[in-house]
Structure 1
Amino acid sequence: MQNRITQLFNIQYPIIQAGMIWNSGWRLASAASNSGILGLIGAGSMYPDVLREHIQKCKKATTKPFGVNVPMLYPNVEEIMNIIVDEDVKIVFTSAGNPKTWTKWLQERGITVVHVVSSVKFALKAQEAGVDAVVVEGFEAGGHNGRDETTTLTLIPMVKEQIEIPLIAAGGIATGKAMLATMILGADGVQVGSRFVASNESSAHQAFKDVVVNTKEGDTQLTLKELAPVRLIKNKFFNDIQELYKSSPTTEQLQELLGRARAKRGMFEGDLEDGELEIGQIAGLIHDIKSVAEIVEDILIEFEAAKKLVTTF
């Protein structure tokens, strides 16, 4: 299955395992890469020395390409970028910031750069900044999201119409049918996040994985737009947010409620009441916890079956 994405990353299948905070350590990334897709380490939940350790362990666990996802809003981003160069990582996905800040610097050091966007406007800015590809993420996605609430199936063709660089679809993709649908709409590949949360190799707490597989349609909602839009499973913390909104809170009051390390508390430590539980809408279709290899195989088998079904119409 060769196309612009498989050639760009030197992988077998045009699928990227998303670099998610508190879920995407070296075990997940290496298992993904060993399955023929691109694995990503999520640097957003790691101090620099921890990231270095995960990169080194990932190198020992796979000989295949892997990358690091870097949210650029973190204060130690310069140290993180230097570690990535020191450790000879060849692929970086940037997000939550201006792609012009680091793209040229990374490319001058032989690194392929992909930027995550949630709108046509930011896709064009990323292309102008010279990135090698963009991840175009729709409203259905888990974790931090775009404010415009544009869904994946409308966003992908709108971006495709405007850009020339490779396009990776994200948001609500956990199956082979969804992969085919977005590629028909113009995507060159897909990024899968939530489905890999519910994998054996995910670094998420088992309690969080169990909640994900029991999540139903309507159990998640986008909130905290005043800070950074995030899709959460509805729990006590989410209800506390909704209660605070009734009083028209200031940004400072919302920040005070959020506090520090709320996502770690929920997804990594397993506090299902007061933790932040980030997941995509597609969780309603995730019913089991499997190995990464099994998940990738399921997606590919369904993708090929769906292609045959489409040709019968």
Structure 2
Amino acid sequence: MNRITQLFGIKYPIVQGGMIWNSGYKLASAVSNAGGLGLIGAGSMYPEVLREHIQKCKKATTKPFGVNVPMLYPNIEEIMQIIVDEGVKIVFTSAGNPKTWTSFLKERGITVVHVVSSSKFALKAQEAGVDAVVAEGFEAGGHNGREETTTLTLIPMVKENISIPLIAAGGIATGKGMLAAMVLGADGVQMGSRFAASTESSAHIDFKKTILETQEGETLVTLKELAPVRLIKNKFFYDVQEAYANCASTEDLKTLLGRARAKRGMFEGDLVEGELEIGQIAGLIHDILPVETIIGNVIAEFNSAKVTINEIQF
């Protein structure tokens, strides 16, 4: 047992990223049933849809699960009240100030984790009273930090500055990656892209297949003026680059992005005009597998790599 398995009451220190349009109750409950911590991604759900997913998740697993809440989304008060009303015990917050909701949640007996992209924000989260932080490197898919710090350097820097449990995220999809993050000081890992390409992910099958086809160098962070996001290079991505070349204003970029672009890409399978969010680690993902198999493979590789490391001497 380590600090993360103890904090959440889970078997393995593996957290599933709360990815929009990928993380419904089927994925969250499957991860929890397989020994990790599943998260429902509230960012792509209207309040009543979130309530439905929480209720279905409670029926699908007796194990701990949580909800990921990006705080920049509307209806935040309603979402937080639903989380409390439905008895959710773990909340991961992101994209906002952790002070805003941490005390509200903790006063109601909820474990709070905040996602950060720098040591500075990790310290602010610790001061706000969160129970743990997720430090997410620049390799990660979806919305990203502006600092461009990679996981390899971010984790030991954050570890040096905080005393609360630390979860590493960004570029982790294998047992070896998990071991590397923990050697650097993480107590556990959060994986997003690997679970996006799972049988239980709510993403469109065409998006899942695109993840498998994505090679090294075929994702890039863009739209930093709005909210930095790592995307697969498709027609929409190149439209954004063309807009930059034509000196587009922030308002022009907002107009180009429009509404529901991520839903169109990841949930509805529009590979041309949709927003396709995935991490750099997609280049190492070669199959769509059931969650139970994914976690089993990660733990087996972790244990094997640990033995190999122990045998190395200089």
Question: TM-score per shorter chain, which class?
Answer: over 0.9
Match of 2:228 in 1: 229
Match of 1:253 in 2: 252
Question: How far apart in 1 are the matches of 2:253 and 2:119?
Answer: 29
Match of 1:13 in 2: 12
Unpaired segments of 5 or more residues in structure 2? none
Shift in Å, 1:115:
0.1
Report runs of 4+ in structure 1 exceeding 2 Å deviation.
none
TM-superposition CA deviations, 1:236-257 (whole Å, max 9, x none): 0000000010022111000000
Question: How far apart in 2 are the matches of 1:200 and 1:230?
Answer: 24
Question: How far apart in 2 are the matches of 1:240 and 1:287?
Answer: 28
Shift in Å, 1:114:
0.1
Match of 1:309 in 2: 308
Which one-letter code corresponds to 1:80 in the other structure?
A: I
SS in 1 for 2:311: coil
TM-superposition CA deviations, 1:221-273 (whole Å, max 9, x none): 00000000000000000000000100221110000000000000000000000
Match of 1:289 in 2: 288
SS in 2 for 1:256: helix
Match of 1:198 in 2: 197
Give TM-score, length-normalised by structure 1: 0.99
Aligned Cα root-mean-square deviation (Å): 0.4
TM-superposition CA deviations, 1:120-143 (whole Å, max 9, x none): 110010001000000000000000
Match of 1:3 in 2: 2
Question: How far apart in 2 are the matches of 1:17 and 1:285?
Answer: 17
Which one-letter code corresponds to 1:260 in the other structure?
A: R
Match of 1:239 in 2: 238
Unpaired segments of 5 or more residues in structure 1? none
Which one-letter code corresponds to 1:102 in the other structure?
A: W
1:159 matched to 2:121: no
Question: How far apart in 1 are the matches of 2:88 and 2:158?
Answer: 28
Question: How far apart in 1 are the matches of 2:12 and 2:286?
Answer: 24
Match of 1:179 in 2: 178
Match of 2:213 in 1: 214
SS in 1 for 2:161: coil
1:47 matched to 2:46: yes
Shift in Å, 1:148:
1.2
TM-superposition CA deviations, 1:183-227 (whole Å, max 9, x none): 000000000000000000000000000000111001100000000
Match of 1:65 in 2: 64
Match of 2:26 in 1: 27
Matches within 5 A, 1:84-123: 84-123=83-122
Question: How far apart in 1 are the matches of 2:210 and 2:276?
Answer: 9
Match of 1:298 in 2: 297
Which one-letter code corresponds to 1:162 in the other structure?
A: N
Question: How far apart in 2 are the matches of 1:312 and 1:151?
Answer: 28
SS in 1 for 2:304: helix
Shift in Å, 1:154:
0.2
Question: How far apart in 2 are the matches of 1:20 and 1:64?
Answer: 20
Match of 1:136 in 2: 135
Question: How far apart in 2 are the matches of 1:214 and 1:244?
Answer: 26
